[in-house]
Structure formats: structure tokens, C-alpha cells
Amino acid sequence: MEVLIVEDDDAIAEPLAKGLAREGFDVRRASDGAAALAAGPADLVLLDLGLPDMDGFDVCRALRSRSAVPIIVLSARGEEVDRVIGLELGADDYLVKPFGFRELLARIRAVTRRTERRVDAPLIEVGELRIDLRGHHVTVAGSPVALTPKEYDLLCCLARDPGAVRSRGEILDEVWDPHWYGPTKTLDVHVASLRRKLGDPTMIETVRGVGYRLVSR
């Protein structure tokens, strides 16, 4: 696996790169946003938000607009609002500095597993909703729907068993991580965004006190 580290601080980037290399990863580094956006394809991106030339959120948005590459944000910004923004922009995980190297490895493996699960069947159809898992395309009544990777994973989680209620814990375990410690309202934010993009808020029903389910309309 090739990892792109986007980090301007040598004191952080260099030992991180050496540690990942020891674990068998191929590592490249970009020291600012422009270099990150000019870099070739990678299998995973570790993205700092405090870059010298542009905000890391803008880099995250730009990377996500052109690729489904897994992105883990590494940032000293530990406020809940920063986590929510990062995830909303398409980051797959958000780790606050300082962090342990073993924890980072666990997050990388978890994100990789979730990414691999995205292609476990060729097609899901629920009413007018169509999910092409091989092509990573979603359409409603023939019209394409642009989703972030987290929104896509959330939709697949619900669509694999339409009509069945998925608890909040089950969804967080499958779409985020079994050891997710972030704000649980992140799920509600993604559900609201997904409803809006699907064009029919009633497609995803809230089951009060339990979780959510996808229904055919």
C-alpha cells in the first residue's frame, strides 16, 4: 500500500514516514497543499489540516472531488465541529494530535477494511435507487447522485437489507469503526445530507430510540 503523508512539520512527518516504512508501507510526502494535489495517485492519504499554503479542509475537499482514496485527517484541531467538518468533506477518519503510532496503524487497517467492503456485490436496487458497487455509482430514477465515501458507505449499509432497522451502534461499527470515539451526532449529520442528496427524505426513516432503515418509495 502506498501512503501519501501531507504534513509540513518535519518533526512529525519524518518519524511517521520511517515508522510506516518499517511496517511495509510505501511512503511519499507532500509538505503543502499544492504538492498534495499535484502528487500522483496513492492508496491512502494522511492529511494535516495546518498546511502553510492552504487550509487542509480545502485539500480534503479537492482530493475527494476527484478520487475515492481513503483520507485520514491528522490534526491538532480537536474540537467537535472540526471533526464533523472533516468527515462531511469526505474524510474517512479523523485523528487528533498527539496520537500513538499503534492507534494510527489500527485506524489505517480499519479504513482499508471498510474500503474493501465497498465492492462486495455488483448491484443493489431499492425502488428507483440503484447502487452500482463495482463502478461506485449511485442513481435515483436514472439521475446520478454524488456522494462522499462516508455517505456512500452509509447508504450501502442501509440498502443491503432494505426495510430492516439498523441500530445506531451497528451503523457506527460498520461505516465508521468498532472503536469509534467521535461524536455520535456525526451519524445524524450524514443521514441528513444523504436524505437531501437522494431527493426524498422519507427514503431513510428514523426509528426513534433505535436507528434507521431504508424503505422503497
pLDDT at site 177: 67
Per-residue model confidence as pLDDT tens digits over 117-170 = 554 457 888 888 999 877 778 999 889 999 988 899 899 989 988 888 999 888
User: Given a cut of 90, is residue 16 above it in pLDDT?
Assistant: yes
Reference 203, options 144, 150, 141, 148; nearest CA is 141
Q: Which domains are present in the chain?
A: 2-116 (3.40.50.2300), 120-214 (1.10.10.10)
User: Higher-confidence residue: 84 or 72?
Assistant: 72
pLDDT at site 162: 86
Which residues is 50 bridged to in the sheet? 55
Q: What is the DSSP string of 11-57?
A: HHHHHHHHHHHHTT-EEEEESSHHHHHHS---SEEEEESB-SSSBHH
User: Higher-confidence residue: 183 or 195?
Assistant: 195
pLDDT at site 184: 64
In this structure, is the dihedral angle defined by the CA atoms of residues 81, 86, 117 and 134, taken in order, positive or negative? positive
Per-residue model confidence as pLDDT tens digits over 21-50 = 999 999 999 999 999 999 988 989 999 999
In the structure, what pLDDT confidence band is assigned to residue 84 with cuts at 50, 70 and 90?
A: confident
Reference 170, options 207, 125, 116; nearest CA is 207
pLDDT at site 119: 47
CB 171 within 8 A of CB 66: no
pLDDT at site 116: 60
169 exposure class (CB count in 10 Å sphere: 0-12, 13-18, 19+)? middle
In the structure, what pLDDT confidence band is assigned to residue 87 with cuts at 50, 70 and 90?
A: confident
Question: At 106, is the secondary structure helix, strand, or coil?
Answer: helix
